[in-house]
Every structure is written in structure tokens, then in C-alpha cells.
């Protein structure tokens, strides 16, 4: 069975081209006899690591899924490659999922991975305010959820969005942009937020201040799910089994992720991340067009249309399908 986890670096971060591990095919008696290859692209964000654990521990193999995980520091490139069909699955923020629907109208939220509850941060550069007469410069992925996050802070501080200068900066580049004084404030998430703090930046706002605003999801396409419905259902079952195991034994989960991605085990943490369980997903999707997930999709859609980054609103209820969720949660 082929299994690989690839980590691609950017901004001077050491690249780990391909880490291959042969896992025993410890499938259950009713696992499919043939494996279906699926390719998942994701950021280095702890909320997505259940996929890594599920692959590392053979849970995907047991479900007949031959999963390749590619972890990258280039969010924009990741989204573009998914739109071009280079991935079967992608793990990104819900806001990114909505803007992605411009190019992939058949995109589907397969599951809600987590809620950012402090992991996303707005940081102040050491040089911010050096010129009091100059408008402050804010860096984030413009037209995405990061801009909505920053606007929440601006609203709290009584600052009009038109009174600041906006710069398009990828999350992984924010630490360097802050340190070099190219921006005064920047939005990023872990582990990049810690990199920025180590370089002298100061956190001033986090997703703990915006509960429920930033959800992270795993996306697929209708076309892919129709080709291999059992593989996608197997992926979801293995994901929630891994999520359950990680909650039960955080140290073991951290070690599995660190070994798979070539990270220091101490750097793997769920701090600032609330994993979504199977029951959390059921609650988020319950009610179809009236569900909490649909309501949040509508909130993001309204912002993106106002911002000009989206012209045609997606149908919120069509963006997810509760039927793909397993019937029962993993046994305690």
C-alpha cells in the first residue's frame, strides 16, 4: 500500500520533500479489498491533523483509503491547485471554501474540522506607530476570512476600514513582513503566530475574541464524491476515529503527527483549536438551510459580496451533506 506525507516549505522554512512510511494493512474484516487513492492538501494547522493521525495509524487503510497528505505553507497556491483538480480533498477555512466556490461551484463541505478559538491572531509589529501621521498597514489574505477577522478588531477599536492600508500577505509570510516593518499589523495563525512573536511581534487580538467566526473544514467536490462515494465515507469515518483517539490520548496523537510531518513533538498542540467531533458536526449541519453552518456561510457570503470578491452567492444548504457523516461515534 502506498502512503506518503509531504511537507513543502516556504519563506526559508526547511522543506521536507516526501516522507514515506509503509504501514501494515490492518484492515477490518469488512474493509474493501481494493484501496482508493485520495490526495489531501492542507495548511500546517492542528485542526487538520486528524487526517495525519488516521493515515499514520492505519485507520485510512482499514477503510480502504490510500491517503496521501500534502502539508504546505502556501495557502493561496493550495487553493489554486485544488481548483485545478490536483487534490481530491482540501482542508481550509470555511471563508476560503466560499470564495473557492467561484471556480469550483460543486465544492462540498465534507466535514467541519475545528473552530479556531485563539489560534488565529492579529499581531502588532515592533515598529508600528513609528510614524504617527501614516495610516497603519494591515496584512492578510485579502478578500478572505482574515480580512473579516481584522475588521472585527477595527470595529471594536472604532477604526473605519477605509482609514487603513490593506496589503495582501500570505499567513506564512506575516512573521517576516512584521519583522521587516512592511506591515504594522498582520493576521496569521499557529504555528506562524509563534514565529512572529519570537521575532518581536505582539499579539493584540485572537479568534478567542470572535467565538464561532472561524471554522475550518475539509472540502471535496460533488464529482469526486460521486465517483468514489465509499472512499469519501471511509475517509470521514477514519477522520473521526483519529479525532476521538487524539482527544483520548493527546501525547500519542502529538507524537504521531510529529513523526509523520517531521516536526518537534513539543510544537504539536491543540492550544487555540477546538476540534469538532462527530456530534459537533451533526449539530452544525442540522436543519439544512436553517443550520448553524448555513447561517455562517450566509454571513461570509454577504461580506464577500460586499467586498467584491464574490459575485454569485452559493446555496448554503448545497455546500454540505449531513448524509456523509457516520451513523455512530467511535466507542469510548
Q: Are residues 107 and 127 in the same domain?
A: no
Residue 263 counted as domain residue: yes
Q: Which of 1-5, 131-135, 167-171 shows the lowest per-residue confidence on average (mean pLDDT)?
A: 1-5
Q: Is the pLDDT of residue 261 over 90?
A: yes
Q: Are residues 205 and 219 in the same domain?
A: no
The domain boundary residue, chosen from 185, 209, 233: 209
> Best-predicted range by mean pLDDT among 33-47, 55-69, 279-293?
55-69
Q: Are residues 157 and 241 in the same domain?
A: no
The domain boundary residue, chosen from 176, 194, 209: 209
Residue 313 counted as domain residue: yes
Q: Are residues 225 and 105 in the same domain?
A: yes
Query: What per-residue confidence (pLDDT) applies to 26?
Result: 39
Q: Are residues 19 and 110 in the same domain?
A: yes
Q: Are residues 10 and 69 in the same domain?
A: yes
pLDDT mean across residues, the chain: 88
The DSSP output letter for 324 is G
The domain boundary residue, chosen from 167, 193, 209: 209
Query: What percent of the chain is modeled with pLDDT above 70?
Result: 89
pLDDT tens digits, 209-249: 999 999 999 999 999 999 999 999 999 999 999 999 999 99
Residue 286 to residue 175: CA distance in whole angstroms: 39
Residue 331 counted as domain residue: no
Query: What per-residue confidence (pLDDT) applies to 160?
Result: 97
Q: Are residues 185 and 260 in the same domain?
A: no
Contact 58, 23 (CB under 8 A): yes
Interval 244-263 mean pLDDT: 95
Residue 53 counted as domain residue: yes
Local confidence band at 281 (pLDDT 50, 70, 90 cut-offs): very high
Query: What per-residue confidence (pLDDT) applies to 265?
Result: 86
Query: What per-residue confidence (pLDDT) applies to 146?
Result: 93
Q: Are residues 111 and 219 in the same domain?
A: yes
Pick the closest to residue 301 from 111, 145, 92, 134 (CA basis).
Answer: 145
Q: Are residues 30 and 142 in the same domain?
A: no
Contact 323, 329 (CB under 8 A): no
pLDDT tens digits, 59-99: 999 999 999 999 988 888 899 999 999 999 999 999 999 98
Instruction: Show the domain range for 255.
Output: 4-117+214-324
Q: Are residues 90 and 237 in the same domain?
A: yes
Specify burial of residue 255 (Cβ count, 10 A radius: 0-12, 13-18, 19+): middle
Provide the number of structural domains found in the chain: 2
Local confidence band at 330 (pLDDT 50, 70, 90 cut-offs): low
Interval 168-181 mean pLDDT: 96
Q: Are residues 171 and 273 in the same domain?
A: no
CA angle (40, 44, 47) in 5-degree steps: 80
Contact 48, 113 (CB under 8 A): yes
Residue 329 counted as domain residue: no
More confident residue, 2 or 180: 180
Contact 253, 246 (CB under 8 A): yes
Residue 67 to residue 220: CA distance in whole angstroms: 14
**CATH value at residue 288:** 3.40.190.10
Q: Is the pLDDT of residue 2 over 50?
A: no
Query: What per-residue confidence (pLDDT) applies to 332?
Result: 54
Q: Are residues 222 and 196 in the same domain?
A: no
In DSSP terms, 70 is beta-bridged to: 6, 41
Amino acid at each position: 500500500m502506498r502512503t506518503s506525507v509531504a511537507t513543502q516549505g516556504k519563506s526559508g522554512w526547511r522543506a521536507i520533500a516526501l516522507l514515506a512510511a509503509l504501514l501494515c494493512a490492518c484492515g477490518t474484516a469488512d474493509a474493501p479489498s481494493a484501496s482508493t487513492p485520495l490526495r489531501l492538501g492542507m495548511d500546517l494547522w492542528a485542526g487538520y491533523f486528524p487526517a495525519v493521525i488516521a493515515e499514520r495509524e492505519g485507520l485510512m487503510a482499514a477503510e480502504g483509503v490510500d491517503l496521501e497528505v500534502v502539508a504546505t505553507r502556501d495557502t493561496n497556491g493550495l487553493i489554486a491547485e485544488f481548483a485545478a483538480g490536483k487534490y481530491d480533498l482540501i482542508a481550509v477555512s470555511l471563508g476560503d471554501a466560499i470564495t473557492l466556490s467561484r471556480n469550483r461551484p460543486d465544492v462540498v463541505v465534507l466535514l467541519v474540522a475545528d473552530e479556531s478559538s485563539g489560534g488565529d491572531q492579529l499581531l502588532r509589529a515592533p515598529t508600528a506607530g513609528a510614524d504617527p501621521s501614516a495610516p497603519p498597514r494591515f496584512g492578510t489574505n485579502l478578500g478572505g476570512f482574515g480580512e473579516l477577522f481584522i475588521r472585527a478588531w477595527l470595529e471594536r477599536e472604532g477604526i473605519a476600514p477605509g482609514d487603513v492600508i490593506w496589503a495582501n500577505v500570505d499567513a506564512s509570510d506575516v512573521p517576516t513582513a512584521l519583522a521587516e516593518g512592511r506591515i504594522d499589523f498582520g493576521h496569521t495563525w499557529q504555528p506562524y503566530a509563534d514565529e512572529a512573536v519570537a521575532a518581536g511581534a505582539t499579539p493584540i487580538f485572537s479568534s478567542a475574541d470572535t467565538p464561532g467566526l472561524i471554522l475550518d473544514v475539509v472540502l471535496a467536490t460533488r464529482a469526486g464524491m460521486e465517483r468514489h462515494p465509499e472512499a469519501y465515507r471511509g475517509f470521514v469515518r477514519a477522520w473521526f476515529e483519529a479525532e476521538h483517539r487524539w482527544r483520548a490520548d493527546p501525547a500519542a496523537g502529538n507524537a504521531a503527527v510529529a513523526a509523520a510531518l517531521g516536526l518537534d513533538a513539543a510544537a504539536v498542540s491543540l492550544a487555540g483549536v477546538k476540534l469538532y467531533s462527530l456530534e459537533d458536526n451533526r449539530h452544525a449541519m442540522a436543519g439544512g438551510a436553517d443550520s448553524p453552518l448555513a447561517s455562517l456561510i450566509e454571513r461570509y457570503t454577504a461580506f464577500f459580496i460586499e467586498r467584491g470578491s464574490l459575485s454569485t452567492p452559493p446555496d448554503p444548504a448545497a455546500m454540505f451533506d449531513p448524509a456523509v457523516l457516520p451513523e455512530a461515534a467511535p466507542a469510548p
